[in-house]
Amino acid sequence: MESMVAKITQIILSPVLALIVGVFFLGLARKIMARIHWRYGPPLIQPVIDMIKLFYQKGVSHGRMFDLGIILSLAGSIVVVLFLPFGRIAPLSSSGGLLVILYIMLLAPLGMALSGGQGANPNISIGISRKLILSLGYEVPLLLVLLTVMTRYKTISIMEVVSAQQSTSWSIISFPLFLSGLSYFLILPAILGIRPFDMSSAPQEISSGPMVEYGGKYLALATIEHAFVLFISIALFVNLFLGGAANPVTFFLKMLVVFVLGLCINAVFPRFRIEQAIKYLWKWPTLLAFLGLIITLAIRS
């Protein structure tokens, strides 16, 4: 009974925490970007102000699928958050692992694609096709990296990966896995969709791509979805390579470091074209991830 209550509390708490962290990251991103540009920047709570405004605005719907697609992608992200340990808060991580996360992570872009398809704006089609090509680019190294981690620790459970790292050392400084960690960090901007890889939502070229028809509460939901995606991809990196954490505060600090490093990349790089991005993603990150996998297999046998 006691554990039941604890579990339910965790199931409610973990998406809320993820949302708070994600929205904080959105605000921090704008502030840090501004400081790097030598500007003063908006207040830290600017995304919250924007979201309040958007929920009060009168949005325009383009049909049933337009509404349901974005809810589908939001639901997918929330379920992934339940499977990801955040410090010791890990409601469903005992019943699933990396494989489950890999499958459900696909729901988020899929829902956006479905929703955008109903929008019937040419910019949406271009944005969605770029997004799917980009995910084709980063899925290859990502799958290799996750395969390496699973092979190294002989488990698919993230909790066991975390506890194994806490008893020995972080994956990112252990021998064969630092190659995979480096590879994951190199593809992290592509997963987050930040600057060298933001061609799928480029405001200047294709009017912010899949977001072009979202206004009002749809845009607010899309922003929340973006906050969740930020949380998920960084939390996965921290769990797999930076040793997770024993409590949420340490975990949050580790996420913060990774995110600020990503922001610095975001601030100084121009945008790749889509074929340049594929060329990059299938060259160095894939090579590193592949090398890591081979060495891990060789050590193991």
Partner 1 sequence: MDRNQITKWLKAPAKMANKYSLHAIYFCTGCGIIEVPPVITSRWDAERFGVIPVATPRQANLFLITGYVSVKTLRAIIRTYEQMPEPKYTVGFGSCPINGGMYWDSYNTIKHLDKYIPIDGWIAGCMPRPEAIFIAVTHLWTLIDKEMANGYIRYRENYKSYRRNQESALGKLEWPPLFLVSNESQGNEQ
The identity of residue 38, as a single letter, is W
Dihedral Cα 252, 234, 125, 202, nearest 10 deg: 70
- Both tokens of residue 236? 């996965």
Cβ proximity to partner 1, 46 vs 118, nearer residue: 46
Per CB under 8 A, 215 contacts partner 1: yes
Distance in Å, CB of 89 to partner 1, minimum: 29
Per CB under 8 A, 58 contacts partner 1: yes
């997770």: which residue's tokens? 244
What CA–CA distances, in Å, run from 255 to 90, 97, 236? 16, 20, 10
Dihedral Cα 137, 141, 143, 148, nearest 10 deg: 180
- Both tokens of residue 32? 């840090």
Distance in Å, CB of 53 to partner 1, minimum: 4
Cβ proximity to partner 1, 42 vs 248, nearer residue: 42
Give the chain's radius of gyration (CA, Å). 19
Cβ proximity to partner 1, 225 vs 244, nearer residue: 225
Per CB under 8 A, 40 contacts partner 1: yes
What CA–CA distances, in Å, run from 147 to 23, 57, 163, 181? 31, 45, 18, 12
Per CB under 8 A, 38 contacts partner 1: yes
How far apart (Å, rounded) are the C-alpha atoms in residues 242 and 177?
Answer: 11
- Could you tell me which stretch among 36-44, 79-87, 188-196, 277-285 binds partner 1 (CB under 8 A)? 36-44
Per CB under 8 A, 207 contacts partner 1: yes
Per CB under 8 A, 64 contacts partner 1: no
Distance in Å, CB of 63 to partner 1, minimum: 13
User: Footprint of partner 1 on this chain (CB under 8 A)?
Assistant: 30, 34, 37-43, 46, 49-50, 52-53, 56-60, 203-204, 207-208, 211-216, 219
